Amino acid sequence: QVQLVQSGAEVKKPGASVKVSCKASGYTFTDYYIHWVRQAPGQGLEWMGWIDPHTGGTNFAQKFQGGVTMTRDTSITTAYMELSSLSADDTAVYYCARSYRQFFDYWGQGTLLTVSP
């Protein structure tokens, strides 16, 4: 069965960076894009960008261009999202999700990032 398992909760200080992982299993990793979506406290879902695990190509929401890096390691079927220069506004639950055509059919369990001095 398809599973996306994310790394655990993180606490970071402002200005630091964080790298969240998303381990995929149960399907051919390189056949489906991986997206990253976040939800800040009390807010809605916010699409951040996608990575094509086959080529490593990426596309980001304008808001995240320059501040987010998405990578993958096909040997261990894992996608990564790195966020730099963290601020309190980055406190959120971060989800990875697989897309099939233009919808998200499987999601990770979420990773809570807390940015606090």
Partner 1 sequence: QSALTQPASVSGSPGQSIAISCTGTSSDVGAYNSVSWYQHHPGKAPKLMISEVYNRPSGVSNRFSGSKSGNTASLTISGLQAEDEADYFCSSYTSSSTYVFGTGTKVTVL
**Residue in 1, 55, 75, 102 binding partner 1, rule: CB under 8 A:** 102
φ/ψ bin of 75: left (φ > 0), alpha (ψ from -120 to 50), beta (otherwise):
alpha
- Token pair of 75, please? 């040997």
Task: Compute φ and ψ for 113, nearest 5 degrees.
Answer: -110, 125
Block residue for tokens 């369990």: 109
**Residue in 1, 13, 55, 103 binding partner 1, rule: CB under 8 A:** 103
Nearer to partner 1, 46 or 82 (CB): 46
Contact status: 105 vs partner 1 (CB under 8 A): yes
Q: Is 28 exposed, middle or buried, given 0-12, 13-18 or 19+ CB atoms closer than 10 A?
A: exposed
Give the residues across from 71 on adjacent strands.
80
* Rg of the chain in Å (alpha carbons): 13
Contact status: 13 vs partner 1 (CB under 8 A): no
Mask for 48-87, x = binds partner 1 (CB under 8 A): -xx--------xxxx-------------------------
Span of 16-24, 69-77, 82-90, 105-113 interacting with partner 1 by CB under 8 A: 105-113
Contact residues toward partner 1 (CB under 8 A) are 35, 37, 44-47, 49-50, 59-62, 95, 97, 101-105, 107-110
